Copies of this chain bind each other. A is one copy, B any other.
Amino acid sequence: MMAFQDQYPDELAHCFGCGRLNAHGHHLRSFWDGETSVARFTPEPFHTAIPGFVNGGVLASIVDCHATGTAAAAAYRAEGRELGSLPPHRFVTASLRVDYQRPTPLGPELLLRGQVRSVTGRKVVIEVSVSVGAEVTVRGEVVCVELPETMRPRTDGPSGSVPGR
């Protein structure tokens, strides 16, 4: 099944959190489950905070990427377009809020669930929960915006060239 992140064009698929072309990244993959989006992620043993618990930065990172992926998928849906149809949607984060409601144990698979709160023009707001078994440990809210032209890699220039860098 095609994940939201699988539809990112190659030049936009290097994200450390979810890029399929990043050799060192988390490779988060998100899917629709009816009206909500889901992703499953099993942290590495070194994704530690205090021993036994998942690092807050890693949790923030997967919340972030699940939200921006869901934002892109929601934008396709709002336009009645198929995921991956052209032109591509790709969102980046304007702001991220993460509440660590209880410690997240390190070991078991985590379930991320996203809810689309609003789709208005170039801005999409997503709420995300992270749970272990039946228990929600983290809640996040992410304000996502469509990738600005100034951040878009040139695909007609030399490989890897980025304007304004």
Contacts and interface: CB of A to CB of B under 8 A. Distances in A.
Interface of A: 11-12, 14-17, 19, 22-26, 44, 46-53, 55-58, 60-62, 64-65, 90, 92-100, 103, 105, 107, 147, 150-153, 160, 162, 164-165
Contact of A95 (B50, B52, B98, B150): B98
B97 A49 contact: no
Nearest to A11: B51
Number of copies: 2
B92 A51 contact: no
Given A58-B61, A61-B57, A49 B100 contact: no
Contact of A14 (B16, B48, B105, B147): B48
